[in-house]
């Protein structure tokens, strides 16, 4: 009888410790996820770039942009979604602009052009 009580106590302790450990892990993961989501969804990034190509129909523009520190990006040429016609009108191939963009789905969307 005594032995079995000790065994039960050991199991309880082991299980309790395991649960606490799992909870800690979950807490870590949750705070990490929140950070990622913030970086991905919330932030507006700024870049300076030269317009290389405009596809008004698709609502896309290709920029040869300078490094973007907030994303740790080197200079590169890439496409951005530009859905707002007023923004597209501010772009012209060969023009150097300062623009703002956010992450959207798998790509990036321009939200402002200076
Ligand atoms: Cu890029």
Cα(77) to centroid(ligand 1), Å: 6
* Beta carbons of 61 and 84 less than 8 angstroms apart: no
Q: What is the pTM of this model?
A: 0.64
Q: Average pLDDT, stretch 38-58?
A: 87
C-alpha of residue 78 to centroid of ligand 1, in Å: 5
For ligand 1, the distance from its centroid to the CA atom of residue 68, given in whole angstroms, is 8
User: Residue 13's pLDDT band (boundaries 50, 70, 90)?
Assistant: low
Cα 81 to ligand 1 centroid, rounded to whole Å: 12
Q: pLDDT by residue (tens digit) across 51-95?
A: 999 999 999 999 999 999 999 999 999 999 999 999 999 999 999
Per-residue confidence band for 15, with pLDDT thresholds at 50, 70 and 90: low
pLDDT of residue 41: 54
CA of 89 to the centre of ligand 1 (A): 21
Mean local confidence (pLDDT), 27-41: 47
Q: Ligand 1 (ion): which residues have CB within 5 A? A: 73, 76, 78
Q: By C-alpha distance, which of 77, 72, 79, 80 is closest to 109?
A: 80
User: Binning pLDDT at 50, 70 and 90, where does residue 42 land?
Assistant: confident
Q: How far apart are CA 106 and CA 79, in angstroms?
A: 12
27-42: average pLDDT: 49
Distance 33 CA to ligand 1 centre (A): 23
């Amino acid at each position: 009888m005594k032995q079995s009580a000790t065994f039960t106590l050991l199991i309880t302790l082991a299980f309790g410790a395991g649960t606490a450990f799992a909870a800690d892990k979950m807490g870590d993961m949750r705070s990490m996820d929140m950070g990622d989501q913030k970086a991905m969804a919330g932030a507006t990034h700024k870049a300076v770039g030269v317009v290389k190509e405009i596809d008004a129909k698709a609502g896309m523009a290709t920029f040869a942009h300078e490094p973007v520190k907030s994303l740790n990006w080197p200079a590169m040429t890439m496409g951005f979604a530009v859905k707002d016609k007023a923004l597209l009108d501010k772009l012209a191939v060969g023009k150097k602009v300062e623009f703002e963009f956010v992450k959207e789905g798998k790509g990036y969307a321009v939200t402002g052009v200076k």
